Amino acid sequence: MINQTAATEFFLLGFSNLRELQILHFVIFLSIYLATMTGNFLLILTVAQNPHLHKPMYFFLVNLSIVDACFISTTIPNSLVNSFRNKKWISFSGCVTQVFLVVTFLFAELTFLTIMAYDRYVAICHPLQYQMIMSWNTCLQLASTSWMSSIIYAIIQTASTFRLSFCRSSIKQFFCDIPPLLLISCTDTRVNEWLLIGTVFTVGLFCFMCIFVYYKCIFSAVLKIQSAQGRKKALSTCTPHLIVFTLFFFTCTFSYLKPKALSSPPVDLLAAFLYTELPPLMNPIIYSLRNKEIQMAMQKVAKKLFGFQWVMN
């Protein structure tokens, strides 16, 4: 029996035991990682270098890009090293760190998406009071609250998880996460399960209801806009956010709240990939494709850095 004090490493679930498929996994994940980091870096740089983008909406978008870059850097690099070196283990301290960071950025992603929905609600439903309501002081308070609450929540969940003793060292996931760790514990995990389910359900439901109410008001206000161009412009700032939130929320909720009967290595790997790797990759793409201001600003940055400029449709 391997308990908390004796365990020095955990073995992660690989995508394949065949060396050729491990190399393929390495190439695919490296491509995803480089594309994600490049897209989020360009988005942050674009907002930073264009004063006309120094608005609350883009301030929160930069925070989301930082979360995405950190989130994907928590899981993919270790997976790349394991595939390249044909190994599947992670140290105990590395697993603790990974769980803490995954939970931190997972919670931060959810809270920033909710804050961004509130920002769009105020901008569309209360445009005359927007600057007063979404002052820079308010924006900084919302951002700092999101980061601090994410860190505190991650500390609680990480400490609660690693107080357990572990009978096995094989984790059925390609990174350290709370649900697969609970499955290999030989300690009574009912308190941990209720804590995890309770917080995920409560926080998730609260954020989901907030965004549902905000977008109900937004769509009601958009339908009242006389100009078709005005309606299109308003929707262009909301649709990307709604797509990103829907993708992230449902894949994450499924991973953490799915019944054990639906749990299997292929399903768990796919669900984890969808909520840890896909949103960070898609966020800069979706926001840049649907937002004309971001497109024009990115053109200037691309021309300055790389000497070329693409043509927008």
Say if 298 falls within a structural domain. Answer: yes
Residue 273 belongs to some domain of the structure: yes
Domain for residue 313, yes or no? no
Q: Is residue 30 part of a domain?
A: yes
Structurally, the chain folds into a number of domains equal to 1
Higher-pLDDT residue of 28 and 270 is 28
CATH code, 29: 1.20.1070.10
Q: Looking at the domain assignment, is residue 257 inside a domain? A: yes
Question: Which residues are registered as beta bridge partners of 89?
Answer: 11
Q: Let me know if residue 155 belongs to a domain.
A: yes
Tens of pLDDT, residues 179-193? 888 888 888 888 888
**pTM more than 0.75:** yes
- Residue 108 counted as domain residue: yes
Ranges of beta strands (E only) in 48-163 are 89-91
Kindly state the average pLDDT of the residues 277-303.
76
According to the 3-state scheme, what is the secondary structure of 185-219? ECCCCHHHHHHHHHHHHHHHHHHHHHHHHHHHHHH
User: What is the structure's pLDDT at 149?
Assistant: 94
Amino acid at 70: C
Tell me: the pLDDT tens digits for 59-110? 999 999 999 999 999 988 888 887 777 777 888 888 899 999 999 999 999 9
Separation CA 7–CA 162 (nearest Å): 11
pLDDT at 309 over 60: no
Enumerate residues 6+ apart whose C-beta is below 8 A from 248. Answer: 109, 110, 113, 275, 279
| Residues β-bridged to residue 9 | 91
Report whether 32 contacts 282 (CB < 8 A). Answer: no
Residue 260 reports pLDDT greater than 70:
no
Residue 80 domain boundaries: 9-306
Q: Fill in the amino acid letter for 206.
A: F
Residue 112 lies in a domain: yes
